[in-house]
Amino acid sequence: MSLYAALANSISGASAQSLALNNISGNIANTQTAGFKTTETHFADMLAQTQRGPQQSGGVASSTRDTLGIQGTMQSTGVSTNLGISGNGYFIVRANTGTDESPTFTGQTAYTRRGDFAPDANGYLTNGAGYYLFAGPSATAPVTVPTGANTLADLSVSSAGAITGTAADGSTVPLGSLTLAQFGTQENLTSLDGGAYVANGQSETPSYGLNGATLKAGAIEQSNAGIADQFSKMIETQQAYTANTKVMSTADQMLQDAIAMYA
3-state SS track over 236-261: HHHHHHHHHHHHHHHHHHHHHHHHHH
Choose the weakest-confidence range: 7-11, 13-17, 147-151. Answer: 147-151
Q: What is the mean pLDDT of residues 150-154?
A: 73
**SS3 label, residue 91:** strand
Q: Is 100 exposed, middle or buried (CB count within 10 Å of its CB: 0-12, 13-18, 19+)?
A: exposed
- Both 124 and 151 in one domain: the answer is yes
- Both 232 and 211 in one domain: the answer is no
pLDDT band at 235 (very low <50, low <70, confident <90, very high): very high
d(CA 144, CA 175): 7
Residue 247's domain comprises 3-69+225-262
pLDDT tens, position by position, 25-77: 988 998 988 888 888 888 776 555 554 555 455 667 777 777 888 889 999 99
- Both 22 and 44 in one domain: the answer is yes
Residue with more model confidence, 81 or 58: 81
- Both 99 and 193 in one domain: the answer is yes
- pLDDT value for 85: 93
- pLDDT value for 80: 83
pLDDT tens, position by position, 92-141: 999 999 888 888 998 889 999 999 999 888 889 999 999 999 999 999 99
- Both 84 and 209 in one domain: the answer is yes
- pLDDT value for 7: 74
pLDDT tens, position by position, 178-223: 999 998 766 678 888 899 999 887 777 889 998 889 998 889 999 9
**Amino acid found at 21:** L
The three-state (H, E, C) secondary structure of 216-241, written as one string: EECEEECCCCCHHHHHHHHHHHHHHH
- pLDDT value for 129: 94
- Both 123 and 209 in one domain: the answer is yes
- Both 105 and 14 in one domain: the answer is no
Q: How many domains does the chain have?
A: 2
Residue with more model confidence, 77 or 149: 77
Choose the weakest-confidence range: 43-47, 64-68, 81-85, 164-168. Answer: 43-47
- For residue 200, the number of C-alpha atoms closer than 13 Å in the C-beta half-sphere is 10
- Both 101 and 196 in one domain: the answer is yes
- Both 83 and 30 in one domain: the answer is no
- Both 142 and 180 in one domain: the answer is yes
Q: What is the mean pLDDT of residues 138-166?
A: 81
Helices 3-29 & 227-262, crossing angle to 10 degrees?
160
- Both 214 and 86 in one domain: the answer is yes
**Amino acid found at 220:** I
- Both 124 and 200 in one domain: the answer is yes
Helices (H), the chain: 3-29, 227-262
